[in-house]
Each structure stands twice: as C-alpha cells, then as structure tokens.
C-alpha cells in the first residue's frame, strides 16, 4: 500500500478504516478476520495451530488526529460571506490552519425508506480560514499570533447568493429520496502528501500523527506469514486525541470483546503501542531533554515516562531493545523534560485493562499536531521492519 496515497485518501478516521479494510480484503489480510466499530478496526490472524500456550502479538495505533469539526448548526454570515463554525477536536495548533486549502469529509447519517443509513463523503470544494493582514495587526511578528478558537477559526465556504445553509450542500451527497439526519464532518489539509528535503529524505503531510503508525502496522501485518501458535493482531482505534474513552476508543471494550473468545494467554502476550514521537527541533533544541532527544532519521523511538503516561516498563522496554538488536533496527530513547509534561497514547489504556505487557514506541517527527507535519522516510521504513520482526 503506497504510503503517500494512503495519507491522501485517509482524510478522516472513517476513510482510514475504509482504506485499511480495502487493503486487507484485497488479499493483504491473509485470512485475517476484520472487526469494525465507528472509525476503528481490528484485524486478527489466527495461528496455524492454537493451543493452551498461544499468545497475542498486538500492534496498536489510532486513526484520528487533531482537527476542526463542523458543528451541528454551523452557519454564519459576515461581510458578504457565509461561514462555518467549527468545534475543536483534540489539540491542533490553531495558527497552522490559517491560509490553507481546506477540504471537508466525514460521514452522513440519513433516513431512507424508514431506516437509518450512512454514507462516507469527501467534498470536492475547498474552504479557507484567512489570516488577518499585517496592516490590521501591526505587532503580530513582535507579540505572536493569538487566536480565539470561538471567534477566529470560522471557515469561509461560499459567497452570499449561493446555498444559504451547509446542510443543503451535504444533502446533495445523498441518494434520491433520502433525508439527512446527522453528520460528522471535519476539515482537513487538502494539500497532497509529498517527499521533501534535498534528497527526498522527508515526508510532508497532514495526519502523519498517527496515520504513519497505521500504515506501518498494515504493511507489516500484510507481509507477515501466519504464526505457528500466536494470534497476530492489528488494532486501529479512534478518539485517542480526546482521551480514548469511547466505544471505538482504546479505553472502551472493543479490543477485549474481540480477544476474549480466542484461546490465548493474556499474561504471556505482548503489545506494541505505536504513536508518533517528538524529534528534537533544530531551531528549539532547548525544548528537548538533552540526553533523550531523538532526531529525524535516527531510528524508532522508545518512549518512557515515570508518570506512566506511556505504557513502557522495564520488562517491555527490554523486550523492545532485544528485538531491535536481533533485527538490526536502530532505536532512540525519548524522555520529556521535567518542566514539560508529555502527552499519552493508547498504550496505557490497553495495557491496564488487559494486563498485557506493552511498550510505547514511535517515529520521530516535527510539527506534531500542526495541520502539516513532517517525518523521515528512513524511520518509517525502520518501523515497518520492526513490526514485521515482531509478528514473526
């Protein structure tokens, strides 16, 4: 599955799941069973011979990313322009959404012949959130750009004289006779993913956090041969950016409900929680912990945290290091500065609820939570190789 194509097509968690399903169902799944819930997907490949000593080998990631979601009643009017009011999802960098070509996509719920049905959509039009000119904000370069998410992030979508309400535009996406009931629509960076750097050594794209991990897991899962005794599992959760406490999130019962009927020992199993990691920023080196500052192209990152924001512990970290050494895969270690608390991942939720030893790892990246992020080609290749070695 081409990485850049996957990034370009997976503009919402729902689209990411559809693309993963299509990839697995086209033969890459190799007899795996697929379980879908919302914008989440779990793939399970059984062993050649399950017995009392079988284990789970689980790779975890999430399909969602910080974004701007269109509110249920979004329509506004100002200065001859019709606007859309968004609600903040997760923790995006607000300023990165300004002066960008913005697409819109998501899922529509509608009534047809007395039944509720759904449809994925990706609009063909582009919207924009224009920045205030420097002439009207003279000190912006000295004082920094300050944005109020309630008033400053409304998207311009059409001029007066066109459609008056956004739901009218969404209604045109429905089958004849259907009636729109609800929608989950979000904006996204419409600029295609591409390679960058003088040697094409980097990847520039929206949604790298965490579609990079989803792609790495999918590629490794597809390439893996069935194990003699172990269940191979690929779990792609939704809603990590807002805490995972949803029916399709890592803190819900989705994974447990899939694994419980299977004859494997949880305590002897192992999980890789794969999310992106902070690379040391060349212009802000002082923001990194000096002895634990991963760099782009330096290898897969082991993420540890004494406050247990990551699931890594001494046992799971040792297992990860040994796997890297045996497979000749470079790795780095990330620890946050004591004066700069870190984020979290799906790892702690899964490890705590299932009792499975879990290690948190990721690819180093810059511009995390910006509308447009960057990572290194070399590190993505290393991650695919690592997950493949794990499944073997």
Exposed/middle/buried for residue 295 (C-beta within 10 Å: 0-12, 13-18, 19+)? middle
Q: Are 68 and 153 in contact (CB under 8 A)?
A: yes
The rounded distance, in Å, linking the Cα atoms of 169 and 172 is: 5
How far is 301 from 241, CA to CA, in rounded Å? 20
What is the strand order of the sheet 202-205 is part of?
A: 194-196, 202-205, 373-376, 364-366, 277-278
Summarize the chain as % helix, strand, coil (round to 5).
25, 30, 45
Backbone angles phi, psi at 134, to 5 degrees: -60, -30
Long-range contacts of 323-331 (CB under 8 A, 24+ apart): 323/386, 323/389, 323/390, 324/300, 324/386, 326/389, 327/385, 327/386, 327/389, 329/299, 329/300, 329/382, 329/385, 329/386, 329/389, 330/298, 330/299, 330/300, 330/382, 331/299, 331/300, 331/301, 331/302, 331/361
| C-alpha closest to that of 43 among 65, 64, 54, 28 | 28
> How many angstroms separate the CA atoms of 285 and 206, rounded?
24
- CB-CB neighbours of 343 under 10 Å: 17
The beta strand positions in 247-291, using DSSP E, are: 270-274, 277-278
Domain 3-65+206-391 = CATH 3.40.50.300: no
Bridge partners (DSSP) of residue 105 are: 122, 186
DSSP 294-332: --TTS-EEEE--TTSSS---HHHHHHHHHHHHHHT--EE
Q: How does pLDDT run along the chain (392 residues), one tens digit per residue? A: 999 999 999 999 999 999 999 999 998 878 899 999 999 999 999 999 988 889 999 999 999 999 999 999 999 999 999 999 999 999 999 999 999 999 999 999 999 999 999 999 999 999 999 999 999 999 999 999 999 999 999 999 999 776 679 998 999 999 999 999 999 999 999 999 999 999 999 999 999 999 999 999 999 999 999 999 999 999 999 999 999 999 999 999 999 999 999 999 988 999 999 999 999 999 999 999 999 999 999 999 999 999 999 999 999 999 999 999 999 999 999 999 999 988 899 999 999 999 999 999 999 999 999 999 999 999 999 999 999 999 99
Task: Say how far apart CA 218 and CA 203 lie, in whole Å.
Answer: 18
Residue ranges per domain, the chain? 3-65+206-391, 67-189
Give the architecture (CATH level 2) of 67-189. Answer: Roll (2.30)
Q: What percent of the chain has pLDDT over 70?
A: 99
Q: How far is CA 356 from CA 44, 274, 331, in A?
A: 16, 15, 22
| 45-73 confidence digits (pLDDT tens) | 999 998 888 999 999 999 999 999 999 99
The residue to which tokens 């960058």 are assigned: 196
Q: Are 289 and 381 in contact (CB under 8 A)?
A: no
Task: Kindly state the DSSP code that residue 90 receives in the 8-state scheme.
Answer: S
Residue 53: what pLDDT? 86
Give the β-pairing of 102-112 and 33-37: unpaired
Q: Rg of the Cα trace of the chain?
A: 22
> pLDDT value at position 216?
98
Q: Which of 74, 204, 84 is nearest to 153 (CA)?
A: 84
The CA distances from residue 129 to 67, 99, 149, 169, in Å, are: 13, 6, 12, 19
H runs (alpha helix) in 24-132:
none
The DSSP output letter for 211 is H
Q: What is the pLDDT of residues 120-155, one digit of tens each?
A: 999 999 999 999 999 999 999 999 999 999 999 999
């Amino acid at each position: 599955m081409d990485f850049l194509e996957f990034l370009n097509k997976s503009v919402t968690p729902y689209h990411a799941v559809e693309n993963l399903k299509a990839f697995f169902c086209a033969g890459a799944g190799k007899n795996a069973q697929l379980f879908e819930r919302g914008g989440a997907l779990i793939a399970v490949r059984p062993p050649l011979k399950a017995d009392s000593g079988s284990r789970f080998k689980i790779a975890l990631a999430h399909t969602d990313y910080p974004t701007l979601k269109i509110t249920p009643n979004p329509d506004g009017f100002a200065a001859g322009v019709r606007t859309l009011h968004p609600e903040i999802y997760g923790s995006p960098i607000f300023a990165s959404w300004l002066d960008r070509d913005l697409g819109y996509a998501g899922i529509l719920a509608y009534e047809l012949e007395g039944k509720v049905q759904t449809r994925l959509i990706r609009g063909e039009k582009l919207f924009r959130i224009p920045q205030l000119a420097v002439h009207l904000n003279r000190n912006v370069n000295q004082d920094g750009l300050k944005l109020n998410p309630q008033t400053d992030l409304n998207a311009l979508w059409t001029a007066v004289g066109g459609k008056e309400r956004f739901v009218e535009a969404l209604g045109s996406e429905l089958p004849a006779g259907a009636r729109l009931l609800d929608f989950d629509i979000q904006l996204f960076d419409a600029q295609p993913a591409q390679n960058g750097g003088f040697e094409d050594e980097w990847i520039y794209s929206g949604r790298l956090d965490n579609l990079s991990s989803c792609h790495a897991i999918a590629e490794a899962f597809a390439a893996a041969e069935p194990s003699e005794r172990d269940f191979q599992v690929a779990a792609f959760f939704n809603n990590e950016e807002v805490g995972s406490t949803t029916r399709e999130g890592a803190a819900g019962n989705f994974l447990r409900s899939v694994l419980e009927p299977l004859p494997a020992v949880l305590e002897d199993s192992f999980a890789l929680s794969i999310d992106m990691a902070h690379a040391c920023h060349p212009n802000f080196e002082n923001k990194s912990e000096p002895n634990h500052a991963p760099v782009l192209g330096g290898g897969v990152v082991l993420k540890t945290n004494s406050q247990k924001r990551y699931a890594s512990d001494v046992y799971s970290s040792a297992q990860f290091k040994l796997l890297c050494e045996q497979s000749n895969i470079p790795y780095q270690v990330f620890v946050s500065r004591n004066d700069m608390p870190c984020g979290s991942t799906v790892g702690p939720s899964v490890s705590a609820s299932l009792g499975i030893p879990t290690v948190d790892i990721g690819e180093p990246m810059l511009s995390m939570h910006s509308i447009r992020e960057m990572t290194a080609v070399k590190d993505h290749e290393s991650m695919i190789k690592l997950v493949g070695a794990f499944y073997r």
